[in-house]
């Protein structure tokens, strides 16, 4: 009989692709819906709608006035005032539309509103609305079957999923005001579903942004075990991952589930370290959870609520509800519906005498009984009860967030039918531009127009749907500020579009706990995820050398450019310190002072020699070479100053070439003096004329020749590959050394090598003449000075190579000053001492007496040769 009914039913073609078992179940539901005999007792529900009014076109509604029936009292427990207000809002909107001549002219809307009596019977209510029969058929009715044009409801996601999937096969629109599960946006599974509340897809992202704004990176997550909670939490966890948040735990439970599951979740919360809990659940579950946590003395947590409970008035009743004070979450924007308040105050049982739930509502509000059978428990209602004298959740219209969604849903259906009714012939959306027949309107035609509605309700709300049946997402950010017995106080913090980032300036400053797995990493450090733990659990590691992080919780460090280096905090790249030997630092001051003192002592020596130039000691030591040597020593001291200061092209070329040439000039003079002494005291054979061949002219030529060789080397160096200033960034990572690139290291070592060759030659010759008479001989002093000179420059080579930065320059200056000072002190200080302190030794007679000393030292020399030596000494002193 059932299969025959299915085939005979005009909608069976929509289910031709369904499996036989599902088809059988649907057929059974339709059969029950159209059965003539009462079968309410079989399904635990009433056959007739709770609220009903005939009209040309009918809009259905499914709400949950009470969820559970008491088998003893045969009454329902926990009457839901909010759901009953939703139903009355449908009636209010339909009556307002029927009285409005600007919409649906000539067509009246009726309604059938059912209570689902729990999720077990919601499918029967839906199928009754889909394929019901009119109790009275007239010539003006659209068709014999009393099929509704759309269904408004349900408030829950799970019940809506249960019947919307089936009703969608009939192409009858389902418009929910409170079902937010993102899964309902799937047009393949729910082809006729619409909603006037944003999808949890947007709410979950808004919640993730909210959590991130307050710096909570380590949170717990708890949800219902139904489709709403599971899908909502999955969407939130995905958004949280995109925002860099971590979920310490994710749990789900049901109100009807075993108590041990609730206790297990409370234990998880107790052991957790996060202080923030994000919840996707109804007010029933949140009340159960909070009550159990209150019993176990668990407090100090920050609750983040979904719109399913954050504004529910029932939170004001229950144990431990004050622990929810401070909770924040998103909810539908509040609005105002003119005329709704007076309409609700006029509700009376006489309007719907057959409605069981209106009777229960009245008895619950006034605590009286409309049935004489129940007088044992309550007083008899006296007929003077009036809702205008009552202030409760039902009559309060200050918060109409979700009621406004019901209001918009009814108007959306009305505008869809109105657009269908006003279709212009040949401009319609159907085949060949046809329009629907006004008296034969089908739900699938309403569905087509509903997808394209775009209107503004009488209270100024704009309504339109996207391709998935969703409205644009808009929320109020709610903060629960106080919860008292019977009342709940909340504040709207911010009106927010969740597709945009939260504006911190519009969010009030809340006293909130810190909820992080690891403290934020300050600038200058980077996050390193701890092995085996979520990304929010990390260590803060200092940035590597040469890198910075300029933001909190940086995952990577940035490398500074070549000429920049991190500051001490490691959060900014600053210009590297420029290093060179400058006059402003202590080392530069000491070196410059020493150089000027060297010049000063050299000039003082030259003045002494000039003043005593006619004395034997000055004349006996070749005064011309002595003055030239003093001049070259002055240049040696001064050339050290070219190494101080910021290197330039000129200073780089001058410092090494000037040093090389002046030192060769100096050594050449010393070498000339050594040869003079050696020639004078070794040319002892009778008739020897060696001194004639090494007179003043030859001495000058020797100095010029030796110096010219060095000048040639330096000239070639400057022409081919001259020294240039460079920035050395390789030796130090944090500093830039300004130095002179030698250009040609070969030329540099050639300059030093030539100086060294002359110094060694001078040292050898002076060593050979070291035992000649002291009064005539300065070879000893030259030997000692050359010994110091060679020791300094031999030590210079490894020190120069190994010294870093400006110390390389300092080592070279030290070598110059030390060797110059050695020459000045060893060669000239003894003579100055004799001139100043021992003038009696600075006479010709004293030098003649030196012959006797010579004879004692050289007793093997024949007297004739000693006489020749005395004559040579006398001539040398006289300068002839």
Q: How far out from the chain centre does Cα 832 lie? A: 76
Q: In angstroms, rounded to a whole number, what is the distance separating the alpha carbons of residues 289 and 548?
A: 46
User: Residue 471: what pLDDT?
Assistant: 93
pLDDT tens for 369-402 read: 887 766 666 788 887 888 988 888 888 888 888 9
In which band, very low, low, confident or very high, does the pLDDT at 13 lie, cut at 50, 70 and 90? very low
Q: Which residues, listed in sequence order, are joined to residue 866 by a DSSP beta bridge? A: none
Take residue 27 and report the two structure tokens written for it.
């057929």
Q: How far out from the chain centre does Cα 439 lie? A: 63
Q: In angstroms, rounded to a whole number, what is the distance separating the alpha carbons of residues 279 and 291?
A: 15
User: What are the phi and psi torsion angles at 353 (to 5°)?
Assistant: -65, -20
CA 20 to each of CA 2, 3, 16: distance values in angstroms, whole numbers, following the listed order: 12, 10, 9
Say how many CA atoms lie within 13 Å of 317 toward its Cβ: 7
The three-class DSSP label of residue 738 is strand
User: Residue 46: what pLDDT?
Assistant: 42
**Contact assessment for residue 828 and residue 778, using Cβ atoms and an 8 Å cutoff:** no
In which band, very low, low, confident or very high, does the pLDDT at 668 lie, cut at 50, 70 and 90? confident
**Contact assessment for residue 675 and residue 778, using Cβ atoms and an 8 Å cutoff:** no
Architecture of the 200-335+473-506 domain = 3-Layer(aba) Sandwich (3.40)
As a whole number, mean pLDDT of residues 247-259 equals 91
DSSP letters along 124-190, please?
A: HHHHHHHS-B-SS--TTSS-SB---SEEE--SSHHHHHHHHHHHGGGT--EEESS---GGGG-TTT-
User: Residue 215: what pLDDT?
Assistant: 84
Q: Identify which of 510, 495, 466, 401 has the alpha carbon closest to the alpha carbon of residue 201.
A: 466
Q: How far out from the chain centre does Cα 352 lie? A: 62
User: Residue 127: what pLDDT?
Assistant: 86
The three-class DSSP label of residue 568 is coil
Given a cut of 90, whether residue 266 has pLDDT beyond it is: yes
**Contact assessment for residue 684 and residue 868, using Cβ atoms and an 8 Å cutoff:** yes
- Token pair 């929509």 is at which residue? 14
Domain-wise residue ranges, the chain: 1-37, 44-197+352-413, 200-335+473-506, 525-575, 586-878
As a whole number, mean pLDDT of residues 801-824 equals 81
User: Residue 485: what pLDDT?
Assistant: 62
- Token pair 């933001």 is at which residue? 551
Q: Are strands 68-70 and 75-77 parallel, antiparallel or unpaired?
A: antiparallel
Take residue 128 and report the two structure tokens written for it.
């009754």
> What 8-state DSSP symbol labels residue 323?
G
User: What are the phi and psi torsion angles at 154 (to 5°)?
Assistant: -95, 175
Element at 114 (helix H, strand E)? strand 109-115
Given a cut of 70, whether residue 4 has pLDDT beyond it is: no
Take residue 341 and report the two structure tokens written for it.
């308040």
Q: How confident is the prediction for the chain on average, in pLDDT?
A: 79
DSSP letters along 606-645, please?
A: HHHHHHTTTSHHHHTT-HHHHHHHHHHHHHHHHHGGGGSS
Q: In angstroms, rounded to a whole number, what is the distance separating the alpha carbons of residues 783 and 763?
A: 5
Q: Identify which of 326, 777, 648 has the alpha carbon closest to the alpha carbon of residue 510.
A: 326
Helix orientation angle between 401-421 and 81-98, rounded to the nearest 10 degrees:
30
pLDDT tens for 336-352 read: 999 999 999 999 988 88
| Residues of the chain above pLDDT 90, percent | 23
Please give the angle made by the CA atoms of 291, 294 and 298, to the nearest 5 degrees: 135
Given a cut of 70, whether residue 310 has pLDDT beyond it is: yes
Please give the angle made by the CA atoms of 819, 823 and 829, to the nearest 5 degrees: 135
Comparing 7-16, 63-72, 203-212, the range with the smallest average pLDDT is 7-16
- For residue 505, give every residue at least 6 positions away whose Cβ sits within 8 Å of its Cβ, in sequence order, or none: none
Rg (CA), the chain: 55
Shared fold status for 200-335+473-506 and 586-878? no
Given a cut of 70, whether residue 656 has pLDDT beyond it is: yes
CA 392 to each of CA 178, 310, 389, 666: distance values in angstroms, whole numbers, following the listed order: 22, 19, 10, 114
Take residue 110 and report the two structure tokens written for it.
């009726």
In which band, very low, low, confident or very high, does the pLDDT at 44 lie, cut at 50, 70 and 90? very low
Q: In angstroms, rounded to a whole number, what is the distance separating the alpha carbons of residues 90 and 176?
A: 12
Please give the angle made by the CA atoms of 158, 163 and 164, to the nearest 5 degrees: 90
Comparing 129-138, 300-309, 622-631, the range with the smallest average pLDDT is 129-138
pLDDT tens for 139-178 read: 444 444 568 999 998 888 888 998 999 899 889 999 999 9
In which band, very low, low, confident or very high, does the pLDDT at 34 lie, cut at 50, 70 and 90? very low
pLDDT tens for 745-775 read: 888 888 888 888 888 888 787 777 666 554 4
Q: Identify which of 684, 862, 860, 685 has the alpha carbon closest to the alpha carbon of residue 769.
A: 684
**Contact assessment for residue 329 and residue 307, using Cβ atoms and an 8 Å cutoff:** yes
**Contact assessment for residue 59 and residue 70, using Cβ atoms and an 8 Å cutoff:** no
DSSP letters along 747-793, please?
A: HHHHHHHHHHHHHHHHHHHHHHTTTS-TTT--HHHHHHHHHHHHHHH
DSSP letters along 799-868, please?
A: HHHH--THHHHHHHHHHHHHHHHHHIIIIIHHHHHHHHH-GGGSSHHHHHHHHHHHHHHTTTS-HHHHHH
Architecture of the 586-878 domain = Up-down Bundle (1.20)
- For residue 572, give every residue at least 6 positions away whose Cβ sits within 8 Å of its Cβ, in sequence order, or none: 548, 550, 566
3-state DSSP percent of the chain in helix, strand and coil, to 5: 50, 15, 35
As a whole number, mean pLDDT of residues 86-94 equals 94
Task: Classify 744 in phi/psi space as left (phi over 0), alpha (psi -120 to 50) or beta.
Answer: beta
Say how many CA atoms lie within 13 Å of 654 toward its Cβ: 15
Of residues 863 and 227, more confidently modeled: 227
User: Residue 874: what pLDDT?
Assistant: 47
Which of 46-55, 612-621, 783-792 has the largest mean confidence?
783-792
DSSP letters along 3-48, please?
A: HHHHHHSTTGGGGTTS-HHHHHHHHHHHHHHH-SS--HHHHTS-SS
CA 659 to each of CA 88, 636, 711, 751, 859: distance values in angstroms, whole numbers, following the listed order: 107, 6, 11, 9, 46
Class of domain 44-197+352-413: alpha beta
Take residue 266 and report the two structure tokens written for it.
């409370």
Given a cut of 50, whether residue 846 has pLDDT beyond it is: yes
- Token pair 């919780």 is at which residue? 553
**Contact assessment for residue 50 and residue 116, using Cβ atoms and an 8 Å cutoff:** no
Burial class from Cβ neighbours inside 10 Å (0-12, 13-18, 19+) for residue 301 reads: buried
Which residue pairs, CB below 8 angstroms and at least 24 apart, start in 730-736? 731/804, 731/805, 732/579, 732/804, 732/805, 733/545, 733/546, 733/565, 734/565, 734/576, 734/577, 735/565, 735/576, 735/577, 735/578, 735/579, 735/805, 736/563, 736/576, 736/577, 736/578, 736/579
């Amino acid at each position: 009989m059932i299969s025959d009914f299915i085939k005979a039913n005009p909608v069976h073609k929509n289910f031709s692709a369904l499996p036989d078992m599902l088809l059988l179940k649907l057929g059974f539901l339709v059969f029950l819906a159209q059965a003539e005999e009462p079968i309410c007792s079989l399904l635990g529900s009433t056959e007739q709608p709770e609220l009903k009014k005939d009209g040309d076109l009918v809009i259905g509604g499914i709400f949950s006035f009470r969820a559970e029936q008491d088998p003893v009292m045969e009454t329902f427990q926990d009457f839901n005032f909010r759901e009953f207000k939703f139903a009355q809002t449908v009636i209010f909107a339909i009556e307002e539309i029927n009285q409005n001549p600007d919409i649906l002219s000539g067509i009246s809307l009726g309604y059938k509103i059912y209570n689902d009596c729990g999720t077990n019977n919601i499918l029967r209510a839906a199928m009754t609305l889909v394929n019901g029969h009119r109790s009275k058929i007239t010539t003006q009715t659209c068709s014999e079957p009393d099929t509704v044009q759309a269904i408004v409801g349900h408030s829950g996601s799970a019940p809506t999923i249960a019947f919307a999937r089936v009703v969608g096969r009939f192409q009858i629109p389902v418009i929910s005001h409170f079902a937010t599960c993102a899964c309902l946006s799937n047009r393949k599974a729910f082809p006729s579903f619409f909603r006037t509340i944003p999808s949890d897809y947007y709410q979950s992202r808004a919640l993730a942004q909210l959590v991130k704004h307050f710096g909570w990176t380590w949170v717990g997550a708890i949800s219902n075990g139904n489709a709403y909670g599971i899908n909502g939490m999955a969407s939130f966890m995905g958004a949280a991952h995109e925002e860099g948040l971590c979920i310490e735990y994710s749990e789900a439970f049901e109100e009807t589930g075993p108590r041990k599951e609730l206790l297990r979740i409370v234990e998880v919360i107790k052991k957790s370290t996060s202080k923030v809990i994000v919840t996707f659940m109804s007010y029933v579950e949140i009340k159960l959870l909070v009550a159990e946590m209150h019993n176990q003395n668990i407090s100090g947590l920050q609750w983040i609520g979904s719109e399913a409970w954050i504004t529910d008035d029932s939170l004001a009743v229950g144990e431990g509800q004050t622990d929810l004070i401070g909770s924040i979450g998103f909810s539908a924007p509040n609005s105002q519906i003119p005329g709704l308040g007076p309409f609700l105050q006029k509700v009376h049982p006489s309007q719907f005498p057959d409605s069981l739930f209106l009777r229960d509502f009245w008895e619950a509000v006034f605590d009286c009984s409309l049935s004489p059978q129940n007088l044992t428990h309550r007083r008899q209602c006296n007929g003077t009860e009036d809702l205008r004298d009552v202030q409760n959740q039902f009559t309060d219209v200050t918060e109409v967030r979700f009621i406004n969604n019901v209001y918009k849903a009814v108007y959306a259906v009305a505008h869809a039918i109105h657009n269908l009714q006003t279709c212009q012939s040949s401009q319609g959306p159907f085949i060949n531009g046809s329009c629907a027949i006004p008296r034969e309107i089908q739900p699938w035609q309403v569905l087509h127009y509903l997808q394209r509605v775009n209107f503004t309700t009488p209270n100024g709300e704009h309504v339109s749907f996207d391709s998935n049946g969703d409205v644009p997402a808009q929320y109020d950010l709610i903060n629960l500020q106080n919860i008292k017995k019977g009342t709940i106080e909340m504040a709207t913090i911010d009106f927010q579009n969740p597709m945009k980032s939260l504006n911190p300036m519009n969010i009030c400053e809340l006293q909130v706990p810190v909820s992080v797995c690891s403290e934020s990493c300050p600038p200058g450090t980077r996050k390193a995820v701890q092995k085996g733990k979520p990304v929010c659990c990390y260590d803060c590691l200092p940035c590597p050398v040469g890198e910075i992080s300029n933001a909190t919780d940086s995952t990577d460090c940035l490398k500074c450019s070549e000429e920049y280096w991190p500051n001490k905090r490691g959060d900014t790249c600053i210009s590297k310190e420029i290093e060179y030997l400058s006059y402003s630092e202590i080392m530069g001051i000491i070196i410059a002072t020493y150089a000027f003192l060297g010049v000063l002592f050299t000039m003082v020596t030259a003045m002494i020699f000039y003043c005593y130039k006619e004395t034997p000691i000055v004349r006996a030591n070749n005064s011309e070479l002595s003055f030239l040597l003093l001049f070259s020593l002055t240049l040696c001291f001064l050339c050290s100053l070219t190494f101080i200061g910021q290197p330039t092209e000129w200073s780089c070329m001058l410092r090494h070439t000037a040093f090389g040439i002046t030192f060769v000039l100096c050594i050449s003079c010393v070498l000339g003096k050594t040869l003079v002494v050696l020639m004078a005291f070794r040319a002892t054979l009778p008739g020897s004329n060696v001194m004639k061949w090494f007179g003043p002219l030859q001495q000058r030529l020797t100095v010029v020749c030796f110096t010219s060789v060095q000048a040639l080397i330096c000239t070639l160096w400057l022409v081919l590959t001259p020294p240039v200033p460079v920035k050395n960034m390789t030796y130090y990572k944090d500093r830039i050394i300004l130095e002179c690139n030698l250009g040609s290291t070969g030329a540099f070592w050639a300059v030093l090598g030539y100086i060294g060759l002359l110094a060694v030659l001078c040292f050898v010759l002076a060593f050979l003449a070291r035992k000649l008479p002291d009064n005539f001989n300065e070879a000893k002093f030259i030997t000692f000075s050359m010994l110091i000179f060679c020791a300094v420059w031999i030590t210079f080579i490894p020190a120069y190579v190994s010294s870093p930065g400006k110390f390389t320059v300092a080592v070279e200056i030290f070598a110059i000053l030390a060797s110059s000072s050695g020459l000045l002190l060893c060669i000239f200080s003894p003579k100055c001492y004799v001139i100043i302190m021992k003038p009696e030794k600075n006479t010709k007679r004293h030098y003649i007496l030196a012959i006797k000393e010579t004879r004692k030292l050289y007793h093997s020399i024949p007297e004739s040769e000693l006489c020749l030596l005395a004559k040579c000494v006398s001539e040398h002193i006289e300068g002839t």
